[in-house]
Amino acid sequence: MPKKFVSAKDESPDMFSNSVLNYLTRVHWSVPLFIFLPVVFYFLYQSFFVLNLSFFKISLGIIGGFIIWTITEYLLHRFIFHSKLPGKLGQRIHFIFHGVHHDYPNDSLRLVMVPTVSVPLAFLFYYIFKIIFGVVLAAPFFAGFVIGYLIYDMMHYAIHHIHSIKHPLWKAIKEHHMVHHFQDDKNGFGVSSVFWDYVFGTQFSKRKKE
């Protein structure tokens, strides 16, 4: 089986010759929490105390937003992060967006989304939800969506760098992602959930435990 990574150590190679650009490609795992937890609390506050939505509508919106995040996570990982445009430029773009993570899967500074990507995407999705659901219902829906994103980022970091969790469900999720990295990167695109891999037929046909 060909080797599917450059280094499994916690090392963070430069991606650019420019130090500022390199700085922007690295982020501590806690940064998304500092940026997006206030966003969650803001939209929940708006839902309860400004928009005066019922507990049922808020709960439904949060659950709906969370579910939409799980499929968004799957689709982004499968069709954006793993897309390979032709030519050297295409290879370079793929390396910047996701290839570097597969080459250096345990780089602790490249396991959560950098704000230069996550913040614009958050604005984009919020305005999409506002168009679809209107300002009122978009608030709890977006809160649930962002909660899903934060769970994904924290789980992704934990999968690669926290080894003390022994729960069978967690071990299954971790194994799923490790197989994607080290054996079969054409399948297994779910990170926080394996559900959509079963739905879209990208679950692993077999697993070789090494």
For 77-117, how does the pLDDT look when each residue is reduced to its tens digit (9 = 90+)? 999 999 887 888 888 888 888 999 999 999 999 999 999 99
Please report the pLDDT score of residue 109 as a whole number: 95
- Name the DSSP letter for residue 205: S
Residue 39 is assigned to a structural domain of this protein = yes
pLDDT at 209: 45
Residue 124: inside a domain: yes
Please, is 119 exposed, middle or buried when counting C-beta atoms within 10 Å of its C-beta (0-12, 13-18, 19+)? Answer: middle
What is the domain range of residue 70? Answer: 19-199
- Asked if 196 and 190 count as a contact pair (C-beta separation under 8 A), the reply is yes
The tally of domains found in the chain comes to 1
Express each pLDDT in 14-50 by its tens digit: 999 999 999 999 999 999 999 999 999 999 999 999 9
Per-residue pLDDT, 207: 52
CA distances 55 to 59, 62, 96, 125, 140, Å, are: 6, 10, 42, 23, 10
What is the phi/psi pair of residue 61, to 5°?
-65, -45
User: Which tens digits make up the pLDDT trace of 65-75?
Assistant: 999 999 999 99
Does residue 210 lie in a domain region?
A: no
* Domain assignment present for 3: no
Contact at 8 Å (CB) between 169 and 176?
no
Q: Residue 1's pLDDT is what?
A: 46
Strands (E), 34-147: none
| Per-residue pLDDT at 19 | 93
- Is residue 103 one of the residues assigned to a domain? yes
Would residue 32 count as lying in a domain? yes
Site of tokens 């345990």: 106
Inside any domain, residue 9:
no
Which residue from 139, 131, 129, 124 is spatially nearest to 44, judged by alpha carbons?
A: 139
% of the chain surpassing 70 pLDDT: 96
Assess if residue 81 is contained within a domain: yes
> CA–CA separation, 148 vs 150, rounded Å?
5
pLDDT digits (tens, 9 = 90+) for 193-209: 999 999 999 999 865 44
